[in-house]
Amino acid sequence: MEVSGKTKVFCVIGNPIEHSLSPIMHNAAFRHLNIDAVYVAFKVEEEALEDAVRGMRSLGICGMNVTMPHKTAIVKYLDETDPAAKLVGAVNTVLNANGKLVGFNTDGVGALRALEENYVKPRDKKFLLLGAGGAGRAIAFQLAQEADELVILNRDADKARVLADALRKRFNKKVVGESLLHNVLKNWIKDADVLINATSVGMHPHQNETLVEKSLLRPELTVMDIVYDPIETRLLKDAKSVGAKVIYGTEMLVFQGAASFEIWLNRPAPVNIMRKAIVERLQARGLSLER
Ligand code: ATR
């Protein structure tokens, strides 16, 4: 598709941003559907965030993804935020609705769809979620509505407790928040149906790290990791080797991107095309030394 005077512009802002996979994923989707749009990445320093949001308004940028370090700070510059983004306190998607900027958080729905598309139905299941950072909170918000039971463990235990209290009050479900200590993890993992790592542990260049020792994993457990670089983390390798079902971090990446796409364009995202584009890029990166 030729870029012309009518081409719509979408973007991601963050810092650093050069390695973002969002341009690859969304441009592949635009090309596949013959949509006259481009998706670009902008490096935005913290002190330039307000100007960047003003720029989105003045230039008529149709949609924006927001990543580190702006996910929380951007909220105050938007006209509205949806309930998930409000509770999570972080926005990863902005829609420009005829000049009104609306913030969303698609990490939670992305994780939920990653589970469902991989045949894991959250209803009647017990979830053990590691991490109460931005992504962890977004995932917890969705799971608290869908699952039978949710246990959130975080290194900083207070964050897990505060989050669990807020979700318990709001959704009237069993939600527990505790410290991510070995014995605590060992206790809760016994009864869990699904384990989700929503921390950054295991990410390149620390790909040998895991929060869960292999002896605690079992075949009946489903294990999902939000880390996607490397595609197969140490946690997922260990889970696979004991016969557990695994869901890769690329799934959450694809479905949170698909949810953004659907908010902006109001039509189904071509998830297989998006997945193929990012997996190919990650595999190429894995083979090259330069990242
Ligand atoms: P994101 O938006 O990707 O979730 P974040 O908000 O910085 O990023 O959250 C990172 C998560 O990884 C947090 O849950 C963090 O735990 P703390 O809240 O205690 O900092 C978790 N995390 C990072 N490194 C960790 C480590 N070495 N061990 C355990 N948890 C870790």
Band (pLDDT 50/70/90 cuts) for residue 10 is very high
Q: pTM value?
A: 0.95
Band (pLDDT 50/70/90 cuts) for residue 289 is low
CA-proximal residue: ligand 1, atom 6 (nearest): 133
CA-proximal residue: ligand 1, atom 9 (nearest): 133
CA-proximal residue: ligand 1, atom 22 (nearest): 199
Express each pLDDT in 44-59 by its tens digit. 999 999 999 999 999 9
Give the chain's mean pLDDT.
96
Evaluate: CB of 250 within 6 angstroms of ligand 1: no
Q: Please report the pLDDT score of residue 287 as a whole number.
A: 64
Q: Which residues pair with 195 in a beta bridge?
A: 128, 223
What number does the ligand 1 atom closest to the CA of 131 have? 14
Q: What average pLDDT score do residues 15-19 get?
A: 95
Ligand 1 centre to CA of 191 (Å) is 24
* Known catalytic membership, residue 186: no
Residue of 71, 91, 72 lying closest to 81 (CA atoms): 91
Evaluate: CB of 227 within 6 angstroms of ligand 1: no
Q: Is the pLDDT of residue 291 over 70?
A: no
Evaluate: CB of 159 within 6 angstroms of ligand 1: yes
Q: Is the pLDDT of residue 263 over 80?
A: yes
Residue of 30, 26, 32, 42 lying closest to 3 (CA atoms): 30
Q: Please report the pLDDT score of residue 1 as a whole number.
A: 74
| DSSP state for residue 267 in the 8-state scheme | S
Q: Report how far residue 138's alpha carbon sits from residue 134's, in angstroms, rounded to the nearest whole number.
A: 6
Q: Please report the pLDDT score of residue 285 as a whole number.
A: 84
Q: What average pLDDT score do residues 13-26 get?
A: 96
Neighbours of 105 (CB within 10 A): 30
Single-letter amino acid code for the residue at 95? L
Question: Is residue 88 classed as helix, strand or coil in its secondary structure?
Answer: helix
List 8, 43, 71, 159, catalytic entry = 71
| DSSP state for residue 92 in the 8-state scheme | S
Ligand 1 centre to CA of 205 (Å) is 16
Residue of 144, 143, 150 lying closest to 112 (CA atoms): 143
Q: Which two tokens stand for residue 90?
A: 């972080």
Residues of the chain with CATH 3.40.50.720: 108-247
Say if residues 58 and 253 touch (Cβ distance below 8 Å): no
Evaluate: CB of 131 within 6 angstroms of ligand 1: yes
Express each pLDDT in 162-221 by its tens digit. 999 999 999 999 999 999 999 999 999 999 999 999 999 999 999 999 999 999 999 999
Band (pLDDT 50/70/90 cuts) for residue 8 is very high
- Assess if CATH 3.40.50.10860 describes domain 8-105+252-284: yes
Q: Report how far residue 289's alpha carbon sits from residue 230's, in angstroms, rounded to the nearest whole number.
A: 13
Q: Is 287 exposed, middle or buried (0-12, 13-18, 19+ CB in 10 A)?
A: exposed
Evaluate: CB of 32 within 6 angstroms of ligand 1: no
Q: Report how far residue 252's alpha carbon sits from residue 198's, in angstroms, rounded to the nearest whole number.
A: 11
Express each pLDDT in 86-145 by its tens digit. 989 999 999 999 999 999 999 999 999 999 999 999 999 999 999 999 999 999 999 999
What number does the ligand 1 atom closest to the CA of 226 have? 3
Pairing relationship of beta strands 100-104 and 93-97 according to DSSP bridges: antiparallel
Q: Report how far residue 133's alpha carbon sits from residue 167's, in angstroms, rounded to the nearest whole number.
A: 15
Q: Please report the pLDDT score of residue 87 as a whole number.
A: 86
Ligand 1 centre to CA of 69 (Å) is 14
Say if residues 93 and 143 touch (Cβ distance below 8 Å): no
Ligand 1 centre to CA of 214 (Å) is 21
Residues of the chain with CATH 3.40.50.10860: 8-105+252-284
Q: Please report the pLDDT score of residue 26 as a whole number.
A: 98
What number does the ligand 1 atom closest to the CA of 132 have? 14
Q: Please report the pLDDT score of residue 164 as a whole number.
A: 98
Ligand 1 centre to CA of 123 (Å) is 27
Q: What is the CATH topology of the domain spanning 108-247?
A: Rossmann fold (3.40.50)
Band (pLDDT 50/70/90 cuts) for residue 29 is very high
Q: Is the pLDDT of residue 37 over 60?
A: yes
Q: Please report the pLDDT score of residue 286 as a whole number.
A: 77
